[in-house]
Chains A and B, each alone.
Chain A
Amino acid sequence: MPRLTARERREAYQREHDFQVKTGKAFFPYAIFHDTVASLVTVVLIMGMSIIWWADFGPVPDDPEAGRAGGFLGPAYENRADPGTEEYDPRPEWYFFFLFQLLRIFKEPEMLLFATIIIPTLLMVLMMAWPFIDRRPERRVSRRPIAMVLAVATPVALMFLTWEGSKAPAVGAASDHPGAAAFANFQPCGTCHTLADAGTGGTVGPNLDTSNPDYATALAIIADGKGAMPAFKAQGLTDDQLSCLAGYIATWAGAQAGAPGPKAPTAEGYPDSCTAAGPDYAGAGAGG
């Protein structure tokens, strides 16, 4: 379709508008009928979801702070908000899952800006500016190749990110990585060291989230000690236990948004040594 001058395009619109007014049907009752049917379907769907949700509610709990269970549409409500919890797995509402997933893709601290600001802002600007970018009068999608690609790619990308985001592990919550419990509970590491992933905040020794030791450094210091820190090999830890702790620290120190820290690649395979190190080291669920 050729480019139109401003006048041609105004006349074309006016011609079509006049034609539609002349040959059209009255909004009432013709269009109102369609709109009413669509609205009724919507109301029925919303009420239906509410009833299905309600039908699966568990009994009202006696504890005034406790949650009330539900079925596959989720609980009536969860436990009362408790800012002191350290083991809650926070999740956004489903329509923010795609943003949540972007955070996991751009997990490196220097890349995080892409996920939090740059990509969402660009998308919003693109959305608002779209009619000013695509100014051709052609409306049939078969003759708008770029629009067709966008129309397929956007929903596919959004649905994919939403789906991946729905399965994502927690952001910033205490993790269930093998080694976290050992670090926090079975060894006194957390008394002296801060490591956000394990939920410890000790300030006697270096903050591991800022020092980010790699696997070899962590292993050497844990085994042989350094400065005020005792040598844990001499205290009877096995090689597997030492390796599990060093691997855990190298992997999850400096973790951002649920993604491993910068030295994680130096500690590949560390979960295996945790499994070999005995039940207390095999994960948060295994010990007391």
Chain B
Amino acid sequence: MAPPIPTPKEVVQIPLDWVEERSGLVSLHKYLLFRNVPKDISWLQTLGSALITTFMIQVVTGILLAMYYHPTADGAFESIRYITDEATLGWLVRGMHKWGSSMFVILLFLHMGRVFLMGSYKYPREMTWLTGAILFQLVMFMSLTGYLLVFDQRAYWASVVAININGTAPILGPFIAEFLKVGPEFSENTLSRFYSLHMLAVPGGIIAMIGLHLYLVIRLGVTSPPWSKHRAKAGDV
């Protein structure tokens, strides 16, 4: 006997059940999508999502830029020129990466200010704040390493100044400066080191930290703003 022809609903349900039985991912997604959040969350509490969106823009435009960028002293400036002047919509990709980075820093300050003013870092959310503070430092390091890659005068000299400032720190300063420069002097290897940190090492750290940050946000739950009348009904909290 021929097997029964599945109905359209079954065509969707059968593979979902298959995945669910083996991984639990379907119920996880149902939980993530349909969990309840306070009914009076503020617009200020969307800054975190705006940051994730900006980060995704940076990842996508960064990947596109990496397809055309040459991290060599001879090729870097040439490839930036090619991306900006000739590649189809290259100016838009580079522009969004450039202005996205400024937007990221601004949103980061606003998000941190929001969390601070609403007292959202208080018990039991101390770890969420801590992962956010680490993200802040990683993002500042991203800005620093990305700046050199354009390899125009501004990029080069700002990076020289930044590394030299780093080198004036006691004990570790000279080591960090030499690590970033790859030796006592600025060289071609400096560019590839910055490139590797900027597109491999630090983004890896950022993705891991965002994962932990979001896990904590979802696990502990979001809460209403402190001035919420609705929240007051929950009792003396």
Name A residues whose Cβ lies closer than 8 Å to a Cβ of B. Answer: 9-10, 12-13, 15-17, 19-28, 30-32, 34-35, 37-39, 41-43, 45-47, 49-51, 53-54, 57, 60, 64-65, 67-68, 76-83, 85, 88-96, 99, 103, 112-113, 116-117, 124, 127-128, 130-132, 134-141, 144, 147, 150-151, 155, 158, 171-173
Contacts and interface: CB of A to CB of B under 8 A. Distances in A.
B189 interface: no
A131 B37 contact: no
Interface string B111-138: 0010011111111111001100110110
| Chain A to chain B: the 10 pairs with minimum beta-carbon distance, closest first | A50-B95, A139-B119, A90-B157, A24-B36, A81-B156, A38-B46, A35-B49, A19-B234, A139-B226, A39-B53
Contact of A13 (B33, B119, B237): B237
Interface residues of B, number: 93
B133 A88 contact: no
A135 B113 CA distance: 18
Nearest to B110: A155
A124 B43 contact: no
Nearest to A2: B236
B153 A81 contact: yes
A16 B34 contact: no
Contacts of B230: 23
Interface in B148-179: 150-158, 160-162, 164-166, 168-170, 173
B90 to A, nearest CB: 10
B20 to A, nearest CB: 18
A190 B133 CA distance: 48
B15 interface: no
Contacts of A67: 152-153
Interface in B48-79: 49-50, 52-54, 57, 77-78
